[in-house]
C-alpha cells in the first residue's frame, strides 16, 4: 500500500510513536547471510534507509502487505 505523507510530520510521528514498518523490523526478513525476504518480495521500497532525511515535503510511504512485527 502506498500513502503520500508530509515527510516532516511523518518523520516526527515515526520517532515519537516508534512506528515499525520496514523490512528490518519484519519477522520475515533475514538479515544474514543475504538480507532477503522469506517470501521473496522485492525490498527496495521497504528498507529503512529509504526513509532517511529528505528535502521534499511530500513523500510516499510504502507498506508491505505481509509485514509481521518480528
pLDDT tens string 10-47: 889 999 999 999 999 999 999 898 899 999 999 989 99
Spatial CA neighbour of 48 closest among 3, 8, 11, 5: 11
Give the DSSP letter of residue 14: H
Q: In terms of pTM, does the model score above 0.85?
A: no
H-state helical runs in the chain:
7-17
Question: What integer pLDDT is reported at residue 11 of this predicted model?
Answer: 87
The pLDDT tens digits for 2-11 are: 999 998 898 8
Q: Give the C-alpha distances (Å, rounded to integers) separating 29 from 19, 39, 59.
A: 17, 9, 24
Amino acid at each position: 500500500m502506498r500513502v503520500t505523507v508530509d515527510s516532516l510530520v511523518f518523520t516526527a510521528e515515526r520517532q515519537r510513536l516508534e512506528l515499525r514498518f520496514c523490512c528490518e523490523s519484519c519477522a520475515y526478513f533475514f538479515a544474514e547471510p543475504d538480507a532477503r525476504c522469506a517470501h521473496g518480495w522485492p525490498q527496495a521500497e521497504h528498507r529503512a534507509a529509504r526513509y532517511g532525511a529528505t528535502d521534499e515535503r511530500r513523500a510516499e510511504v510504502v507498506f508491505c502487505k505481509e509485514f509481521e512485527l518480528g
